[in-house]
Structure 1
Amino acid sequence: MLLNHDLLREAGRVRRQLALTVELGLGAGLLAILQAWFLARVVNGVFLEGRDLSGVWPWLLILLGLIFLRAAFAWGMEVAGHRAAARIKYDLRRRLVAHLLALGPVPLKDGHTGEVVNVLVEGVEDLETYFAGYLPRLALAALMPMAVLGFVFPLDLFSGLFLLGTAPLLPLFMFLIGVQAERLTNNQWETLGRLSGHFLDVLQGLTTLKIFGRSKGQVEVLTRLSEDFRTTTLAVLRVAFLSALVLELAATLGTALVAVSVGLRLLYGRLPFQEALFLLLLAPEFYLPLRLLGSRYHAGLAGVTAAGRIFDLLSRPLPAGEGDKAGSAVGQDEVVAPFIAGHPGRATALSEDKKMVAGICLKQEIPSGRESIPGAAGDGGRPAGEKGLPRPGLHIILEDVCYTYDPGNRPALQGLSLELRPGEKVALVGPSGSGKSTVAHLLLRFLEPDRGRISADGHPLDRVPPEEWRRQVSLVPQHPYLFSGTIADNILLGRPHASWEEMVAAASLAGAHEFITALPQGYATPIGERGLRLSGGQARRLAIARAFLKEAPLLILDEATAGLDPATDQIIQTALERLLRGRTSLIIAHRLSAAVRADRIVVLASGRVIEEGRHEELLARRGLYYRLVTASRGAA
């Protein structure tokens, strides 16, 4: 009867509200029985006992009071049920969002963003009918018929046995039809997930589709997916209407047979009129909870189907350390305290070069929307090393690190050992699939190694809370993500509580202040979704400004200068030289030209370090690096 274990566990969180819902529903049912009794008494008094209005007036007043009281109980049942469902929905959405954020981008890369959004929105909404309607109706379907039989059996054993014998037919019909309905509902959800995912892909890739002349072709694809969804939805509705027809027919036939039985015995004088009328009025009330349960069955089935997707997301294992954000473990606390306190280091580029922005006008006010971006209102406190206290680069060591995305397949990293010395610029090069991005994800704590050890300044990284560790790391990606807010909002992601002067200084060091002040609204200029109003070079300069503002001792660059015109490339190279100064830096070099300026080049192949050294040294060895450089020059 759609009693999902996960949903029942969620129901336990609001058991008082659900118990109140059932109690109010049971109270309304008992009032309906009393209402039927007084109605039978009034009719019997007027038609057989010859009473006038004054003779039945007290009974009518009681009957009127029962009607209003029953309506109040029914209203209270609906309110209590929906409040319980709202609380569960809020809690589930909060946990889903927290879990997705803790998972990070890598575990979700194989899924469709649109499908995940559909689960967060429509999936959670589908649970309301389950908790507010189906679950209380299920309890009432078990309790109310027993309550009715408690009044029927003392009056007429035959009618009680008849009702008791026909009652299981309705759940049986629900089960038989529900088997088919479950399959159709699953198909409906899968089709809706494909439609949501594809529609979002089309919107995000609209520029590419128009360039290749395929935007109109997607209309046909969306039409086909919409038609599939319409077909599956209509199939579900057909089964729902069929089940409603079967349940109504069974309840009507049961009531009619009781009426025939009672009528025949009344005709031959074997049953008093008042009791016969009371039994006749009780028969629909006996079947009513079962009919109402049947009417909510398909809504409950949709909730169970959605719950499968919801708890599938919640069951995905988190990276090590993400499950304990507070870092409450004793061993973790022993590492975190000295790790945080041990980085008061040398002056950062921002504190060293503040004299460069001394002449800049800083009279602008912080835009009111500065906290409109996710994370802008968070803790985001200034990391250790602010207020002029220097922070050195970190000493990172990867020892015999192994990682496999899909167990049983070829590992992405196979016994990788790598050292990043304080203040050193290390370039990571290698053919596609050699493990460069995996190393970056491990250092960002989006992944945890299957085997091996990563340490920072001698502290095991797996014993430092991921959130605390990420305060020590800045990332400048090739395609930075910009949120739909102002320029100031996006820069302040680096440190939400930074002052206006610090933000402008960071933008100036990144080479972004000039183009920002040329915009009509300056730092308050909205940039649109994903920064569509900015060029690629401008977006990367904002990402560099974030890194300046964060002042983290470890910097990861993912081909930050690829695909730029020479003038913009020179601006960004100059900004990066400032940013790299004094920091431990890992440069993910997809283009070999980005590795030439590095202090050391590490060459990866099949998840292992093959070569290591400076540019000239590696060329002289004529190994893999030499072949990559030669191939790159030949392609050029």
Structure 2
Amino acid sequence: MDKQLQRDLTNWLRSQSKLAKRWLMLSVGLGFLSGLLLVGQAALLAHILHQLIIEHTDKYQLVDSFIGLFVIVGLRAACSWGREIFGYRCGEQIRLHIRQLILEKLQQLGPAYIKGKPAGVWASLVLEQVEEMQDFFSRYIPQMSIAVLVPLVILFAVFPLNWAAGLIFLITAPLVPLFMALVGLGAADANRRNFKALQRLSGHFYDRLRGLPTLRLFNRAEAEAENLHAASHVLRKRTMEVLRMAFLSSAVLEFFSAISVAIVAVYFGFAFIGELNFGHYGVPISLFTGLFVLILAPEFYQPLRDLGTFYHAKAQAIGAAESIVEFLNTEADGMDKGCANLPSPETITIEASELEVLSPEGQVLAGPLSFTLAPHEQVALVGPSGAGKTSLLNALLGFLPYRGSLKINGVELRSLDASQWRQAISWVGQNPLLLHGTVRDNIALGNPLATDEHILQVAENAYAKEFIDRLELGFAHQVGDRSGGLSVGQAQRIAVARAMLQSGSFWLLDEPTASLDANSEHLVLDSLKTATAGQSTLMVSHRLDQLASMDRVMVLENGKLVQNGHFDQIRQHGLLADMLAHTDKRDLDA
């Protein structure tokens, strides 16, 4: 990974930690307090041993020291517990914020962009990669401060007793972070490769799992199993690289910490037998001094060793942040964030002039198109597969960028407040999306403030009430993800009721009866006919027998508008005539 990129990602991660400054300060404060208590604990323990061994003090005279020692140990345990709690809260708050940023960005880019990558990639980005940042914020960031504060406290305690021991601490302390940095140079790259492999495997596995019936139908299950095995082998290899880095880092830190403590022990050993006579301030080195410093010696390096251990969490966070920051910085060409209000939202007029619909990468998907949708006009949009119908709808919804002009009530779409514009749209697609919750919850998505009477009315108008009443719990019936527990026709009628509840002035219908049986299709069409009466409507339809009831028909072919007029005017020639002839022939063959 480029060093500048690594620095930028580290700065971005640290900037996110400001969101949980309170929890961070509490965690660091408890770590500092634990360091102060540590010095007191070492002093009491050294004092007890000195009194018992050198002064031959009766142990009953040291009861207060023993009680103080137990109290300090209990307080340190409480500090450690508090650090874990506050550190977790710090990481939790930041993770929620980052996850919210990702979801808001996904909402801004829209479904057209999301469909460009496998669902497993987004799941990995929102779940696994955000979770991998927990230890960085809860452990590494607080430990950076504690690794400075606690050794300073110990140095201030040791230097007044023995300057030689303090000097050994001061000289050997930089060795730990130095070798930690050297070992950790490749850790971020290893973690980045691991996350890339995890993304590929997640996307591959999730998509194959959803398409398993199709794979079995075409006898491709074994071939895809081999592909999954290859992808899992790559992930296993990348994971082992990360583990090797982690174990190597820990081994190096333990080695240099042990050497440093050994130097301090050797110094005091030779000082006690009279071979070394320096480091003290004219007073012979006592057992208290030696024990006090030796007890503190491992604890002096412990915060630095912990920082080295958590350095792996930093490498993990940087590897995860690369994809997240790259995604958050994604900007689709031409998708500006407008803020203009929609004038006269009660009626909708759409004017397109030399309109070219673009993909998020800037490729032309449809156009140039020029047309007008007048207030209260109902227009059908037809054409063969790949003609650009869905691309045009996504552009109208603000999910795809465009060139040229696309005005809503005289205001350029890219200048409008996207949320306000979408609030004016009642949309019904060919694949109704119902979320986990009750039937009432799914209908109320169109207007969360709607009353029960209003919800009951739209359910009746959409012919949904007739089957809802047959459900055991009625409107409280639980719906699973992806409309689980309901038929496609029932789910579509709930989607129509939801669109009615929104009361948009512009109805956008994307083949709303494509997957329905004859009875459900009849009910949905009747409800839509009532709901769209007098409203501006643009409907993509595969049913050519429905076109006669529309005010106008627009025919697309290869992204171009090839026919535009009333059904009776254009049915005798051009592409529409060919489509009608093909439909009639297919009906005769059936």
> Same fold, TM exceeding 0.5?
yes
2:274 alignment partner AA: Y
Displacement of 1:288: 0.9
Counterpart of 1:439 (choices 383, 392, 414) is: 392
1:273 equivalent in alignment to 2:279: no
2:503 is matched with: 551
What pairs with 1:95-244 in structure 2 (closer than 5 Å)? 95-209=101-215, 211-212=217-218, 225-226=231-232, 228-244=234-250
The equivalent of 2:10 in structure 1 is 4
Deviation at 1:252, TM superposition (A): 0.9
For residues 166 and 333 of structure 2, the distance between their equivalents in structure 1, rounded to whole angstroms, comes to 60
| Structure 1 residue 299: Cα displacement | 2.7
Task: Determine the structure 2 residue equivalent to 1:394.
Answer: 348
Would you say how many aligned residue pairs link Structure 1 and Structure 2? 573
Q: Report the residue type matching 2:496 in the other structure.
A: I
Within 5 A, what are the aligned runs for 1:254-269?
A: 254-268=260-274
Question: Of 453, 458, 467, which aligns to 2:419?
Answer: 467
Pairwise CA distance, 1:488: 3.7
- In structure 2, the residue matched to 1:352 is none
Aligned to 1:356: none
Counterpart in the other structure of 2:539:
587
**Residue 542 of structure 1 aligns to which amino acid in structure 2?**
I
1:593 to partner: Cα distance: 4.8
Shift of 1:591: 5.6
SS in 1 for 2:56: coil
The 1:299/1:557 distance shift into structure 2, 3 A limit, reads same
Q: How many Å apart are 1:301 and its aligned residue? A: 2.4
Quick check: 1:558–1:589 contact (8 Å CA) kept in 2? Answer: yes
Deviation at 1:420, TM superposition (A): 0.7
Aligned position for 2:304: 290
Relative to structure 1, the CA distance from residue 483 to residue 215 in structure 2 (aligned partners, 3 Å threshold; closer, same or farther) is: farther
1:476 corresponds to which of 428, 431, 435: 428
Q: State the superposition RMSD in angstroms.
A: 3.4
Q: 1:247, 1:291 within 8 Å by CA — same for their partners in 2? A: yes
Matched letter for residue 287 of structure 1:
Y
2:188–2:318 CA contact under 8 A, matched in 1: no
**Alignment of structure 1 residues 446-465 onto 2, 5 Å:** 446-456=399-409, 458-465=410-417
Q: Distance in 2 between matches of 1:526 and 1:282?
A: 61
| Paired residue type of 2:483 | G
User: Judging changes above 3 Å, is the alpha-carbon distance between structure 1 residues 32 and 571 closer, same or farther for their aligned structure 2 residues?
Assistant: closer
User: Residue in 1 aligned with 2:281?
Assistant: none
Q: Are 1:45 and 2:59 matched, yes or no?
A: no
Instruction: Give the C-alpha shift of residue 516 in structure 1.
Output: 4.1
The alpha carbon displacement at 1:502 in A equals 4.0
Q: 1:420 aligns with which of 349, 373, 386?
A: 373
- Aligned counterparts of 1:206 and 1:231: Cα–Cα separation in 2: 27
Q: How far apart are the structure 2 equivalents of 1:286 and 1:22?
A: 17
Compared CA separation, residues 585 and 22, structure 1 to 2 (3 A): same
Counterpart in the other structure of 1:339: 344
Judge conservation of contact 1:415–1:452 (CA < 8 Å) in 2: no
Conserved 8 A contact 2:357-2:392: no
Instruction: Give the superposition deviation at 1:39.
Output: 2.9
| AA at the equivalent of 1:273 | S
Give the superposition deviation at 1:66. 3.4
Question: Deviations along 1:172-204, whole A, 9 cap, x unmatched?
Answer: 332233233323322332233333334433454
Residue 335 of structure 2 contacts residue 400 of structure 2 at CA under 8 Å; is this kept in 1? no
Could you say what secondary structure the match of 2:292 adopts? helix
AA of the residue aligned to 1:311: V
Q: AA paired with 2:285? A: P
Q: TM-score, normalised by structure 1?
A: 0.79
Secondary structure of 1:445's counterpart equals: coil
Question: 2:382 matched to which residue of 1?
Answer: 429
Mean Cα displacement is larger for which, 18-27 or 560-569? 560-569
CA distance in 2, matches of 1:94, 1:106: 20
| Deviation of 1:477 (Å) | 1.1
- The offset of 1:137, in angstroms, is 1.2
- Return closer, same or farther for 1:78/1:551 CA change in 2, 3 Å cut-off: closer
1:66 aligns with 2:20: no
Q: Structure 2: how far apart are the matches of 1:25 and 1:276?
A: 25
CA distance in structure 2 between the partners assigned to 1:30 and 1:494 by the alignment: 58
Read off the aligned partner of 1:302 and give its amino acid letter: Q
* C-alpha contact (below 8 Å) 2:144/2:307 kept by paired residues: yes
**Is the 8 Å Cα contact of residues 360 and 400 (structure 2) preserved in structure 1?**
no
Contact 2:28 2:83 in 1 (8 A): yes
* SS of 1:552 mapped into structure 2: coil
The question of whether the paired residues in 2 share the 8 Å contact of 1:119 and 1:310 is answered with yes
2:3 — aligned with what? none
Q: Secondary structure at the match of 1:107?
A: helix
* Secondary structure, counterpart of 1:423 in structure 2: coil
Residues 401 and 321 (structure 1), Cα distance of their counterparts in 2 relative to 1, 3 Å cut: closer
Aligned ranges for residues 511-550 of structure 1 at < 5 Å?
511-550=463-502
Is the CA contact 1:22–1:140 (under 8 Å) kept in the aligned structure 2?
Answer: yes
1:601 aligns with 2:561: no
Q: Output the CA distance in 1 between the equivalents of 2:474 and 2:167.
A: 82
Offset at residue 133 of structure 1 (A): 1.0
Counterpart contact for 1:134–1:296, Cα < 8 Å:
yes
Counterpart code for 1:339: S
Aligned to 1:349: none
Per-residue deviation, residues 200-234 of structure 1 (Å, max 9, x unmatched): 33454455455556667766655555555444434
Secondary structure of the residue that 2:245 maps to in structure 1? helix
Cα distance change, pair 613–240 in 1 and its aligned pair in 2 (3 A): same
Task: Note the 1:74-85 alignment, pairs <5 A.
Answer: 74-85=80-91
Instruction: Specify the SS of the correspondent of 1:604.
Output: strand
In the alignment, structure 1 residue 24 sits paired with structure 2 residue 30? yes
Length-normalised TM-score, structure 2: 0.85
466-475 or 605-614: bigger deviation: 605-614
Q: Is the 8 A contact 2:436 2:478 kept in 1?
A: yes
Please report how far the alpha carbon of residue 421 of structure 1 lies from its aligned counterpart in structure 2 after TM superposition.
Answer: 1.2
C-alpha spacing 1:52/1:107, structure 2 compared with 1 (3 Å): same
Q: Distance in 2 between matches of 1:71 and 1:160?
A: 27
Aligned equivalents of 1:52, 1:121: Cα separation in 2: 61
Contact 1:319 1:446 in 2 (8 A): no
CA positional deviation for 1:253? 1.7
Change in 2 beyond 3 A, CA 1:505/1:14 = closer
- Identify unmatched segments of 5+ residues in structure 1: 344-392
Inter-CA distance 279–541: structure 2 relative to 1 (3 Å threshold)? closer
Whether the aligned pair in 1 keeps the contact of 2:333 and 2:360 (CA below 8 Å) is: no
Q: Give the 3-state SS of the residue equivalent to 1:602 in structure 2.
A: strand
From the superposition, tell whether residues 261 and 605 of structure 1 become closer, same or farther in structure 2 (CA, over 3 Å).
same
Matched with 1:315 is 329
Q: Residues 69 and 551 from structure 1, CA distance in 2 versus in 1: closer, same or farther, beyond 3 angstroms? A: closer
Alpha-carbon distance change, 577 to 295 in structure 1, aligned in 2, over 3 angstroms = same
Shift of 1:419: 0.7
In structure 1, what is the equivalent of residue 39 of structure 2? Answer: 33
